[in-house]
Amino acid sequence: MSYPIRIVAMAFMVAASLCPSWAQGAGLEHATQARLLEEATEAFRAGNALLNDDPEAAQDEYEKATLRMERIVREGGVENGKLYYNLGNIWYQRGDLGRALVHYLRAEQFMPHNVQLQQNLAFVRAQRTDAFEVSEKRKLLETLFFWHYDISSHTRLRLFGGAFILIWVLATIRLFWKRRELTLAAGACAVVAGLLFFSLSLEASQYRNNPRGVVVADEVVARKGDGETYQPSFSDPLHAGTEFTVTEDRGSWLHITLPDERTCWIPRSAMALVQHPLGEGA
């Protein structure tokens, strides 16, 4: 069994045990969610069993698994890392690199330190057609503000909470025990809390105003304007799995920035946002 199939199978074998941890959505009862997950798991296993002998039938089973899992998200209002991780695995088995990456990135927002997820992300990214050299400006920012880029938002939020509480604890002790060390410690905690608050606020603003996205079409011509009549921005099209940030939204067309800081326009139909709006498809 190949590496990608093995990691998918291992991940999905435990999927049936996840229902109790999922929030019950307004649109689907918990029992319905459990049934859909069980059906998705059975379809996935059937697809794995058919993959070598009857690839076409296997893809039919993978599609059944996808539809049931996405119904849990769409109608059940359920979002969590394990659900998106398994959807990423299914899309990879369906040969859709772009949508596999989208769902892995969605999963990363919930479980950023999951080793298996990070391995799958690296594995999928290595198979992309397009490669971009990260700009020198980006490299400099990531070096100077490593704590903003390298530490997950979940961890930064916990650190902020800890630093904020510690400030008040130290300040309270300082009222009864006049020590300069306590003042310095409280000041240091205040600086840390301030930096973390700024980092989290900046990330929230970027997440809202400049969301991340991924090209899911096999290929798409990037253009210099928001329409098919504009000239292509590059000599080659963009391919599935290319990541970007959105800088302007004009409905059916989006202005995007690529990892190397180049910009262009692509049709909305060719991409999916990492931030998944409940009620809409991938």
| pLDDT, the chain, mean | 85
- CA-based torsion, 57, 61, 64, 70: positive or negative: negative
Number of structural domains (the chain) is 3
80, 99, 125 - which closes a domain: 125
Q: What is the mean pLDDT of residues 50-60?
A: 93
Pairwise CA distance, residues 137 & 125, whole Å: 22
Is residue 108 located within the same domain as residue 25? yes
Pairwise CA distance, residues 188 & 166, whole Å: 10
Least confident stretch, 71-85, 96-110, 254-268 = 71-85
Position 93 in a domain: yes
Three-state SS at 120:
helix
Q: Is 19 a residue whose pLDDT tops 80? A: no
Q: What is the CATH number of the domain that holds 240?
A: 2.30.30.40
Is residue 112 located within the same domain as residue 200? no
The model's pLDDT over 213-249, given as tens digits with 9 standing for 90+, comes to 999 999 999 999 999 999 999 999 999 999 999 999 9
Position 89 in a domain: yes
Q: What would the two tokens of residue 197 be?
A: 């608050």
The model's pLDDT over 111-154, given as tens digits with 9 standing for 90+, comes to 888 999 999 999 999 999 998 887 777 778 778 887 777 777 77
